[in-house]
A = this chain, B = another copy of it.
């Protein structure tokens, strides 16, 4: 960490100034993304202005815009959730809910603006995958546990089940895809529907 500081930083009161500036910077990025701004439209200058910090503060922490954006998405998703390990159903519900807690609820649409970018920028897509893959792994291990414990079918397709759990929530929460679906109880309703099946 570079020790040169701007006057603005030295004035920051209260919480440790680095943490406070980090939060403001990440929130600024998430707010820009979730209001529909493209990666191209987001400049370090605009982020700095919005966050009330100097550009140098951003460049000291992040080597480039892409790294900053991926860190903002990681911050939105929050810490990796830890399943309680008792009921597979309850753990899956918790994991779906974790995708909608804290910053994810406020800035849930941020990821939408990255999707077209992933088509053009393979490196950005890989950086994003590195954020979500550990989260997928948590869900995979809950599903594997369920197969072992007999809570889930022995022939369960783990990867397809992952997609069935994540796809509906992403479509619904990023895009309010189907306005006829209530937000309340979404996680429970989805997991129960996946578990019991639609057939009579």
Which residues of A are interface residues toward B (Cβ below 8 A)? 34-36, 38, 109, 112-113, 115-120, 136, 146, 150-154, 156-157, 159-164, 166-172, 174-175, 177-178, 180-181, 189-190, 193-200
Contact = CB atoms under 8 A, between A and B. Distances in A.
A146 B197 CA distance: 13
Task: Give the top 9 A-B pairs by smallest Cβ distance, nearest first.
Answer: A197-B197, A167-B167, A167-B168, A36-B120, A36-B119, A167-B171, A195-B199, A159-B180, A113-B116
Contacts of A181: 159-160, 163
A150 B117 contact: no
A198 B194 contact: yes
This chain's copy number in the assembly? 2
User: Which secondary structure dominates chain A's binding surface?
Assistant: helix
A156 B199 CA distance: 9
A178 B195 contact: no
Contacts of A115: 112, 115-116, 174-175
Interface centre among A115, A120, A136 (most CB of B within 10 A): A115
Contact of A116 (B116, B136, B168, B200): B116
